[in-house]
A and B are shown apart, each in its own frame.
Chain A
Amino acid sequence: GESVGLHLPTLSVQEGDNSIINCAYSNSASDYFIWYKQESGKGPQFIIDIRSNMDKRQGQRVTVLLNKTVKHLSLQIAATQPGDSAVYFCAETRLTYGNNRLAFGKGNQVVVIP
């Protein structure tokens, strides 16, 4: 199930099930979105990205969906594995040359139950 902890929303998922992580972004001018995974003791790791001219993009076991109408982004992980346990951050930005700012979401913790 999903619960909101003191700092991070947490999604507990059974190994082998699919996970869906949601993110609401704030800037309607943002045209590029990235999902990062951060495991304990590590830096954020790039997972997948999507431009605003797309509404879906698939990678290996991951799919990102973008709904610009409601400014919502989601990351779907198929057949969740113990190694997927991490904090997941969405990030938004504008693809303007020289703009290097990423605005990160608050993060979602995923706990995989073996």
Chain B
Amino acid sequence: DTEVTQTPKHLVMGMTNKKSLKCEQHMGHRAMYWYKQKAKKPPELMFVYSYEKLSINESVPSRFSPECPNSSLLNLHLHALQPEDSALYLCASSHVAKNIQYFGAGTRLSVL
């Protein structure tokens, strides 16, 4: 099973809202990732968690706040987003020592 599950599939939010994206995997992977993807572009890395600790933050604005409550779950908390933050947000996971990342289907986010 190489499934990474993301919820919700679609999200529309206003600039003053607070929302959260969720990601879950049961492959025993101890590295989890958040990516942002704009249309017709490759995924851009935002955050990496390794053994439930934040190991990489690619200078992401503080209105995006990641959280890794346990080895299977990854959240991305959103607050005071801008319209330019509208994108597909992808979660991925991998073994720490292997680089094949398995992606979820993403959350399509629209900020109004």
A79: interface (CB < 8 Å): no
Q: Give the contacts of A52-94 with B (CB-CB under 8 A).
A: 87, 89, 93
Query: Are A44 and B50 within 8 A (Cβ)?
Result: no
Q: Give the CA-CA distance A42 to B104 in the complex, in Å.
A: 8
B60: interface (CB < 8 Å): no
Please tell me the number of chain B residues within 8 Å of chain A, measured between CB atoms.
28
Minimum CB–CB distance from A41 to chain B (whole Å) comes to: 7
Q: A34-B100, A95-B99, A107-B40 are in contact. Are A100 and B56 (CB under 8 A)?
A: yes
Q: A8-B40, A100-B31, A107-B42 are in contact. Are A49 and B100 (CB under 8 A)?
A: yes
Query: Are B105 and A7 within 8 A (Cβ)?
Result: no
Query: Are A100 and B100 within 8 A (Cβ)?
Result: no
Query: Are B42 and A46 within 8 A (Cβ)?
Result: no
A12: interface (CB < 8 Å): no
User: In the complex, given contacts A7-B40, A43-B92, what are 19 additional A-B residue pairs having Cβ atoms less than 8 angstroms apart?
Assistant: A6-B40, A8-B40, A32-B99, A42-B105, A43-B4, A43-B103, A43-B105, A44-B90, A45-B103, A46-B2, A93-B99, A95-B99, A98-B96, A99-B99, A100-B48, A100-B55, A100-B94, A101-B45, A105-B42
> 29 A–B contact pairs at CB < 8 A?
A7-B39, A7-B40, A8-B40, A32-B99, A34-B99, A42-B106, A43-B4, A43-B90, A43-B92, A43-B103, A45-B103, A46-B2, A46-B100, A46-B102, A49-B100, A89-B42, A98-B55, A100-B48, A100-B50, A100-B55, A100-B96, A100-B99, A101-B48, A102-B45, A104-B43, A106-B41, A106-B42, A107-B40, A107-B41
